[in-house]
Amino acid sequence: MELPKIQSVTDLVGKRVLLRLDLNVPIENGVIKDDFRLKKSLATLDFLRNKQVKVIIVSHSESGLSHSLHPVFDYLSKSHLMRFIPDFTSSEGTQMLKDMQTDEVVMIENIRQYHGEMENDPAFAKSLADFADIYVNDAFSVSHREHATIVGLPKLLPSYCGLLFQKEVEELSKVLTPPHPFLFILGGAKFRTKMPVIKKYLDIANFVFIGGALAHPVWSSMGYEMGDSIMPDSDVGLDLEFTKNNEKLCLPVDASVETSDGLVSKNPNQIKPGEIISDAGPLTLRKLAALIKVSKFIVWNGPLGNYEKGFKAGTLELARLIMESDAQSIIGGGDTLAVVDELQAEDKFSFVSTGGGALLDFLAQGGTLPGIEALLASPKR
Ligand code: 3PG
């Protein structure tokens, strides 16, 4: 697969470039809690700023009360001079875009404020494309979405991918033909997206470890009581047949459980009604340490415990075990990134992906995404 790269364009000077970034970062009370994605987005922005172009930044935000990108604009404005457009469809917004000068950068407010974005409305895509000569997708982590700024714009403009996008595809493609022994660790609670990945990687990896809430329906299917632990909604309709008698599938062997006596380590068959599994237990971490020790390649996505509620110990320990091993390691996903941030440890892993759902879909779909297909099929280059 030869991606169309922005570096291949020779006549960029003076062009209007619509740059799709993923600036969707956790924001609390207007304060950015994790700037990993923002830092990773700067390479393409800087590349374009050196090419004497007009850059129109487009992104979504699902965080904070107002879902506004303004806190991100404030953050980026500290190092990059730019202007903010609250509504590009208003007469002021339209005028600002028309009046852009070479070397100018503008950022449009949360693109999901317009219905046309998530509905992938061709007319909406055209209303944006009319302001640009070139489209650059550097939002790999949104490229599993069939939204107007991901799959609609490549139909209308000469389209390329940015530097972060290229790096993500290059690094994550290694998972498709991995060195062995290969250990895949999946945690968290996104049952619908993660179960197909587990199923697929039982064919590719040597060991697939299911941690966090993902283990609960598997234990439940073995007849164990799960108390009030997180379980998939009844409409998810999981088919767990593939988890039976599979020697490559590794489950936790104990859990840290909230009981009336406080937090207690228990075997999965000892959980009582009303109790809640909140983290991995010590025996599970020992089992993971042994698997990590014999592995040459490790992919990890998702926490081992209820990370958002503060049950972080198991996940932090897993991160340390991977950091200390000699194996190549690729990690990604929201809570996994929070761990990297907490430990200030990005350089201890071979690659830290900005993708969450996109990373999983890329791996489940054998190395492609709707946003990649749209770039490859763009008729305008
Ligand atoms: C992410 O946070 O994974 C991306 O920004 C995509 O966001 P979404 O799940 O809201 O589409």
CA 196 to centroid of ligand 1, rounded, Å = 19
19/11 Cα distance (integer angstroms): 17
Q: Which atom of ligand 1 is nearest to the CA of 62?
A: 10
256/279 Cα distance (integer angstroms): 5
Q: Tell the CATH topology of 6-164+368-377.
A: Rossmann fold (3.40.50)
**pLDDT tens digits, one per residue of 257-282:** 999 999 999 999 999 999 999 999 99
Which segments of the chain belong to CATH 3.40.50.1260? Answer: 6-164+368-377, 170-364
- Mapping DSSP to helix (H, G, I), strand (E, B) and coil, where does residue 255 land? strand
Check residue 184 and give its pLDDT: 98
Check residue 258 and give its pLDDT: 97
CA 20 to centroid of ligand 1, rounded, Å = 13
The dihedral built from the CA positions of residue 151, 153, 156 and 162, taken in this order, carries a sign that is: negative
CA 357 to centroid of ligand 1, rounded, Å = 7
Length of the chain: 381
261/270 Cα distance (integer angstroms): 14
Ligand 1 contacts (CB < 6 A) are 22, 24, 62, 141-142, 145, 356-357
Which residue positions in the chain have pLDDT lower than 70? none
Superfamily, domain 170-364: Phosphoglycerate kinase, N-terminal domain (3.40.50.1260)
Q: What is the DSSP string of 136-182?
A: EE--GGGTTS--IIIIIGGGTS-EEE-HHHHHHHHHHHGGGS--SSE
CA 122 to centroid of ligand 1, rounded, Å = 21
The number of helices, as runs of H, and strands, as runs of E, in the chain is 13, 17
